[in-house]
Amino acid sequence: MSTTPEDPFASGPQQPQQPQQPQPQQPPQGGPPPQQPPQPQQPPQYAVPPGGVPPQQPAPAPYGGYGGYGPVPGTEKNWMGTASLVLSLVGLFTFITAIAGIVFGHLSLSAAKRGEADNRGMGIAGLVIGYLIVVLGILAAIAIFAIAGWFITECGGDNPADWCQNLDIEVSTAP
């Protein structure tokens, strides 16, 4: 009864093995009928308490958990309002970032209107500060050009030695 197992990786033709099917048993002639397999036991039945069936309690609510990762709905574009305010405040020193603050302020307000952001006030603050800085910067540029124009007309000329001779500037000397 010694058989060697077949190598599944061996090359060459192999014949597929067919599982042997059990043959149905036929009862012997004149013998007792075959016995049925025993039936599984059923769980015991419990008696109904006096007074009827008690009411069932509702199932407890499922635990909510912490939810998934990512931004809370309605806050995924809050960074625009923050960027607007920061860029507008940095514009006090650089002026050019105030323009970017205005752009992000408008984007923040439109995101808040669509419900994608909830910091509308920060966007408005960035817009107001940005516009004030741009207006003050334009006024400052106009003032600088006006003063430079006045200075050039008063002190201008072809000869640098004649420049600013018409100004009555008193220079005091300390004793």
* All structural domains of the chain with their residue ranges: 78-155
Give 132-172 pLDDT, tens digit per residue: 999 999 999 999 999 988 888 777 767 766 666 655 556 66
Sign of CA dihedral 146, 150, 156, 162: negative
Q: What is the identity of the amino acid at 78?
A: N
- What pTM does this model have? 0.51
128 phi-psi bin (left φ>0, alpha ψ -120 to 50, beta other): alpha
Strands (E) in the chain, as ranges, are none
The answer to whether residues 118 and 74 touch, using CB atoms and an 8 Å cutoff, is yes
> What digits encode the pLDDT tens for the residues 117-137?
999 999 999 999 999 999 999
Q: Is 45 helix (H, G, I), strand (E, B) or coil?
A: coil
How far is residue 19's CA from residue 122's CA, in Å, rounded to a whole number? 77
The tokens of 29 are what?
């002639």
